[in-house]
Amino acid sequence: MAQAADSPKYALISPTFKRPDEVTEFLQSLTALDFPKSGYEIILGDGTPGDTLRPELAPYLDQLPLQIYYEEFLPVSDARNCAASLATAQYFIFLDSDCIIPPGYLRAIDAFLEAHPDTTLFGGPDAASADFTDLQKAINFSMTSFLTTGGIRGGKSTLTSYQPRGFNMGMSAELFSTVGGYDENFVCGEDVELSLRLQKVGAISRFIPEAYVYHKRRATLKQFRRQVFRFGAARPLLAKAHPGNLKLTHLFPLVFTLYRYLTVIFAVLGIFYFHDSLFAIPFALYVFYMFAVFLTTLRHEGLAVALRVVQTTNTMNEGYGIGFLRNFIEVYLKGNPKGIKL
């Protein structure tokens, strides 16, 4: 894909659907980018029913190099592809609208790509801003800590083998065009699926620690559980589409959840029916692990967030694990290639 000489270097692309406060906050953060406006373009793919979001974003059309592609009820993969079809930049960077972008974000990416010009696929971490709620900070810790996820969302070990996620995912426009963009059959896990296809065609992928975004995610535990349920349910579909992709780490949330419930039952039966406290030892291992998570959070975030992390870590593993199990049964045992409705 050839770019015109006066084209911007970066296209910042995000799907949107309702949530005007969230999208406004996202765009407001982009007004503070420490990067020449001639160097980037912003494109939203909006599917808000009734076209009620675009009028609220009108002020930003004057403040930012912004375009909005609108089609009612546009799904997330379609929204990203349609927005990308308007882009003219050399690199496409996909972001989520529940992210706040720090001023130095594009500077960090630009410096990294100047130093590593062979990079064709890249991403950065998500972080919690100081003004996030305790729940949002707890969710961020549960989703990003090595203790709770094994560092699969980015770390030193993934500097040159990273699979970027759609909240913070960049690639060359040429590479995006080569694979045909996002697979619109995927309504969840579409970002990981794209990363896998990009790496199969030879993408050189790197993790950029300095290119972080503040990721707000969900405002309630119920919303968060629904989100991670969908993440877990996407894994069997990804494994079906890309054989060999399923790893032992993807089974951890299900094993963790089953272990938690079964050891509670084991302990109760052992203590009250067999009068032997040794039956509580397996559950004590779970308590020890959660206490380690609590202490680590306490050291970095304080007591209020540490207490919420106990909730969010259990919610994350249970939601993801049950989503994985339900769709694994649907896809592999029942033979439904589309899986459960997400």
Under 8 Å between Cβ of 126 and 99: yes
**pLDDT tens readout for residues 63-111:** 999 999 999 999 999 999 999 999 999 999 999 999 999 999 999 999 9
**pLDDT tens readout for residues 180-206:** 999 999 889 999 999 999 999 999 999
Joined together, the tokens standing for residue 6 give 């006066």
The pLDDT assigned to 238 comes to 94
End-to-end CA distance of the chain: 34
The pLDDT assigned to 217 comes to 81
The pTM of this model reads: 0.91
What gap in Å lies between CA 159 and CA 154, rounded to an integer?
8
**pLDDT tens readout for residues 235-282:** 999 999 999 888 888 899 999 999 999 999 999 999 988 888 899 999
Q: Name the CATH superfamily for 10-124+162-217.
A: Spore Coat Polysaccharide Biosynthesis Protein SpsA; Chain A (3.90.550.10)
The pLDDT assigned to 5 comes to 59
What gap in Å lies between CA 33 and CA 217, rounded to an integer?
21
The b-or-e profile of 183-201 (16+ CB within 10 A means b, else e) is bbebbbbbbbbbbbbbbee
Nearest to 261 by CA among 334, 194, 321: 321
- Domain boundaries defined on the chain: 10-124+162-217, 219-342
Q: What is the mean pLDDT of residues 309-338?
A: 96
What gap in Å lies between CA 12 and CA 24, rounded to an integer?
15
The pLDDT assigned to 162 comes to 81
